[in-house]
Chain A
Amino acid sequence: MMAGIYIHIPFCRQACNYCNFHFSTSLHYKNDFVAALLNEIQLQAAANYLQDQSIATIYFGGGTPSLLTVEELQQIMQALQQHFTVTADAEITLEANPDDVTDEKLVGWKTLGINRLSIGIQSLFEEDLQWMNRAHTAEEAKQVITKARAAGFNSFTVDLIYGTPGLTDEKWLSNINWVLQQNINHLSCYALTVEEKTPLDKLIRQHKKTDVDAEQQSRQFILLMNELQKAGFEHYEISNFAKPGYRSKHNSSYWKGVHYLGLGPSAHSFNGISRQWNVANNQQYIQALQQHTIPFEKEELTKEQQLNEYIMTSLRLMEGCDLHYVEQRFGIAAANRIRTEAVAFVSKGLLTAANDHLILTQPGKLFADSIAADLFA
């Protein structure tokens, strides 16, 4: 079995107002953080959470990994190579913001073995970027793919956000078309979500920003699905689209029960029966690792929770929920219960049930959460 490694880089130059991931805009502790992370790599390797599985994917996420220097990234890559068995053809992704993508960095990343870039473009309209408080400009976004190609990168994914107040359907289609023109093979598109305790949440409560419109979001989701289907993309996960053969291996592991190790503050790890997560606080993370301990919490998943997670993640996938697999792993009673309860959704046209797989229809994809909850044990 192969596993994945996720590295969380908890720094950003500026806070996007919708983001609820863990990050700090104070870069002061970046050096201490890198030292702590190198420590954690060593300690985690010794703890052997992944049971000696080879590493097939590495993913630098955040935060903003692209604001690390090439030297810092090199130290991290070196430590990973030293303490883990990374396969020769491993998928190694780095999340990058357009304003960080310079020719020097691109060359450095390439040398380090990074072979896939995930670019946070979000929108190609200046007013949307400002509305979200993004750090980059539309112009920077428009040049980034060309630059990266010139540096020898050929595997990309870009992130786009829809359902933003002010994003008309025409603008949304134009964003999608830009991606298609760039001949990019992978795309993640997220409906703008107002998460609790984010600046956006506060601004909306104070009536300083317009709340998102569910009607607009569902309409733009449908537009997206139709456009990308025409362009030959597979809608392989609710928010992810790829040309055949270009799916994200790393992200797929989250949905397919592949084991992964998360490094850095707030990062989550999973090994099939337990999940653990590091403290979501840079200071505490750094201090603990200075003492050579990993500050984490852990939960064991009951059979029921494992089944619920399988239902929730598998329904989001193009292949759907495999009831034969459920039967083998969780027993015939569990599978039959789901089969019975799925009937109502099949008759409403929200699910299809071919070859003992439950698959969301296009209308069903709009209600993935409530359908999953209803099928929970």
Chain B
Amino acid sequence: MKNIRNFCIIAHIDHGKSTLADRLLQTTNTISDRDMMDQVLDDMDLEREKGITIKSHAIQINYKHKDGQEYILNLIDTPGHVDFSYEVSRALAACEGALLLVDAAQGIQAQTISNLYLAIDNDLEIIPVINKIDMEGAMIEEVKDQIVDLIGCIPEEILLASGRSGIGIEAILEAIVERIPAPQGKPEEPLQALIFDSVFNSFRGIIVYFRILNGSIKKGDKVKFVSTDQEYEAAEIGILKLKMTEKKEVNCGDVGYLITGIKNAKEVKVGDTITLAANPTQEAIRGFQEVKPMVFAGIFPVVTEDFEELRDCMDKLQLNDASLTFELETSQALGFGFRCGFLGLLHMEIIQERLEREFNQTVITTVPNVSFIAYTTRGEKIQVNNPAQMPEPTAMDRIEEPYIKAQIITKPDYIGNIMTLCLGKRGILINQSYLTQTRVELIFEMPLTEIVFDFYDKLKSQTRGYASFDYNPIGYRDADIIKMDVLLNGDKVDALSALIHRSRAQDFGRKLCEKLKELVPRQQFQIAIQAAIGAKIVARETISAMRKDVTAKCYGGDISRKRKLLEKQKEGKKRMRQIGNVEVPQEAFLAVLKLDD
């Protein structure tokens, strides 16, 4: 056990984490140059495209130190977006140390700070690394000062590296061995292992990734998951090389995988404790929490008959994404579907894309909202995750909305823009402080609902990308939230309803109608689009009837051109949903996310 090191990398998006990880694997021959693809750890297509790590993965590195001994370094990869802090916290709990990776040109970002605090709370040994030191615009000394201020280390402890050109990789490996403590567990105690991730494999069932804190696990052991109290046989265990490598035993302090043949997604919870059925541990590992979703939206199949298939896919997705929650939802317009809870909008987008790409589902996602709390005149307290759950105005006493504390770090030049943006989103400035001469931290309290839609994008454009943002919930406050309904040809479309602050309602309704007019194609009859609060119509647009749709000339060259055009049109129709007699395209249900100012 004294030759095991478990570590992770804390970094902001684009600060070069995946490239550095690749380099560690290459330098130690964990992966041959021939097999090397950029960012090997990011094995989902989506991750590669978006350039971010969504799911934690782990990989074992064998490293021979200059002291002559062989070490096992378990690298646990973590996501780097504000939506995924729960996954980060589980990955951190499986480690004794962390590389704090900071881009030499960009310096410390808000996201990095919050994850760093998480790591310090978990008593992790921090190894600061300044990356991309060979890039133009590198400000090594300034970034060093920031790091010293932040974690109170001495400048000499900061390593300099470039993942791209391989500078400083050996020094990082040495520091991992020398500075990060070996795991502290007791091999003779009952098994206590932390589940920090899981994936679904269509041939093997659920594969559980774990870190052993105490005891050990052998192939064939009867194991128990503490939070669910379910027992399984450890049909296969092993360690995580680039591919899974089967072992007879995985020992105290190490990281490994477990296959039990579990098929049902709900049985495996990230953060849960694995122990032995015959000799169970007395306590579960600290820090397990049910994931709290921040944003809720409906997901429905485009074709109603595909509901059961979608349910199956959602179950499978939830297996390797414990932060996705969902329950059955029925919509008059869309039929059966799910009200899903997401960590944020990016998470929602990723789930929708994964359903489409990995599971071949065509889905409609409805207007997202945060979770409100309504108090009725009869004294009931109702959690409102869905506009349909909102009590009638006459039955409503008051409503509360979730607030967050937002931390924004930027250059002083952009303070004005950020103030305008945040105050316009009902934010309250709590504090403003200079971290360094060129780096200022702004703290706002803001309604969560104001940041879930386009806040992050707006922040980026208002600051030309020179702002980083992090937030955490600070409870509920009174709010004037109303339900905005949308009617198509007089019929209320529940799937288009939205919960919105009263001060925004009129403007929101008008823009929503305009956007829907753009997105809903002309049909053979006129379509009225109306936005309403209760019985009061606040905005209206009309899509006039299509008068004709017929090609004039259809001769030699026109035929294949026209056929291809109509085939495409037919394909597009498959992604539409009939509501009453109106065909509504998939993207119209998310029109609210595309409203212009």
Contacts and interface: CB of A to CB of B under 8 A. Distances in A.
Interface of A: 6, 190-193, 214-215, 217-218, 221, 237-239, 251, 254-255, 260, 262, 266-270, 275, 277, 299, 305, 308-309, 312-313, 316, 365-370, 372-374, 376
Given A239-B552, A312-B566, A369-B566, A275 B524 contact: no
B66 interface: no
Interface of B: 524, 546-557, 559-560, 562-563, 566-567, 569-570, 573
A275 B562 CA distance: 14
Contacts of A215: 547
Nearest to A316: B554
Contact of A369 (B547, B550, B573): B550
A373 B571 CA distance: 9
A309 B559 contact: yes
B573 A373 contact: yes
Nearest to B553: A190
B566 A254 contact: no
A266 B550 CA distance: 23
Nearest to B524: A367
B563 A312 contact: yes
Contacts of A309: 559-560, 563
A313 B554 contact: yes
A260 B560 CA distance: 14
B566 A376 contact: yes
B552 to A, nearest CB: 4
A365 B550 contact: yes
A251 B555 contact: yes
Which one of B546, B555, B567, B570 has the greatest number of beta carbons of chain A within 10 Å? B555
Contacts of A251: 555
Given A190-B553, A238-B551, A305-B567, 8 more contacts: A192-B552, A239-B552, A239-B554, A275-B560, A305-B563, A308-B567, A366-B547, A373-B570
B548 A214 contact: yes
Which one of A192, A215, A367, A370 has the greatest number of beta carbons of chain B within 10 Å? A370
Contact of A277 (B547, B550, B553, B557): B557
B582 to A, nearest CB: 15
A214 B549 CA distance: 9
Contacts of B573: 373-374
B548 A217 contact: yes
Given A374-B570, A376-B567, A367 B556 contact: no
Contacts of B551: 193, 238, 368-369
A255 B547 CA distance: 25
A373 B568 CA distance: 9
Contacts of B552: 190-193, 238-239
Nearest to B554: A316
B566 A266 contact: no
Contact of B549 (A237, A262, A368): A368
Nearest to A239: B552
A365 B547 CA distance: 11
Nearest to A369: B549
B556 A218 contact: no
Contacts of B569: 369-370, 373
A192 B551 CA distance: 10
A366 B554 contact: no
B547 A254 contact: no
B556 A6 contact: yes
Contacts of A275: 559-560
B548 A191 contact: yes
Contacts of A260: 556
Nearest to B568: A373
Nearest to B555: A254
Given A214-B548, A367-B548, A374-B573, A262 B556 contact: yes
A206 B93 CA distance: 62
A254 B555 CA distance: 6
Contacts of B557: 262, 266-268, 277
A376 B570 contact: yes
A6 B524 CA distance: 37
B563 A367 contact: no
B558 to A, nearest CB: 9
A143 B566 CA distance: 41
Contacts of A299: 560
B429 to A, nearest CB: 46
B574 to A, nearest CB: 11
Nearest to A266: B557
18 contacts: A190-B553, A191-B552, A214-B548, A218-B547, A221-B548, A237-B554, A239-B554, A254-B559, A262-B556, A267-B556, A268-B559, A275-B559, A275-B560, A308-B566, A308-B567, A369-B549, A369-B569, A373-B566
A305 B554 CA distance: 16
Contact of B550 (A254, A270, A313, A367): A367
A217 B556 contact: no
Contacts of A255: 554
Contacts of B550: 191, 238, 365-369
B406 to A, nearest CB: 44
B525 to A, nearest CB: 11
Going nearest first, the 5 A-B pairs with the smallest beta carbon separation are A268-B556, A214-B547, A190-B552, A373-B566, A218-B547
B554 A254 contact: yes
A236 to B, nearest CB: 13
Which one of A192, A237, A374, A376 has the greatest number of beta carbons of chain B within 10 Å? A376
Contacts of A237: 554
Contacts of B555: 251, 254
Nearest to A237: B554
B548 A366 contact: yes
A231 B30 CA distance: 85
Nearest to A222: B548
Contacts of A367: 524, 546, 548-550
A376 B563 CA distance: 9
Which one of B550, B557, B559 has the greatest number of beta carbons of chain A within 10 Å? B550
Nearest to A217: B548
Contacts of A376: 566-567, 570
A267 B555 CA distance: 11
B547 A312 contact: no
B55 to A, nearest CB: 38
B359 to A, nearest CB: 25
Nearest to B550: A368
A368 B546 CA distance: 13
B560 to A, nearest CB: 6
B523 to A, nearest CB: 9
Given A305-B563, A309-B559, A376-B570, A239 B553 contact: yes
A312 B548 contact: no
Contacts of A266: 557
A193 B559 CA distance: 16
Contacts of B554: 237-239, 254-255, 312-313, 316
Contacts of B553: 190, 193, 239
A266 B555 CA distance: 12
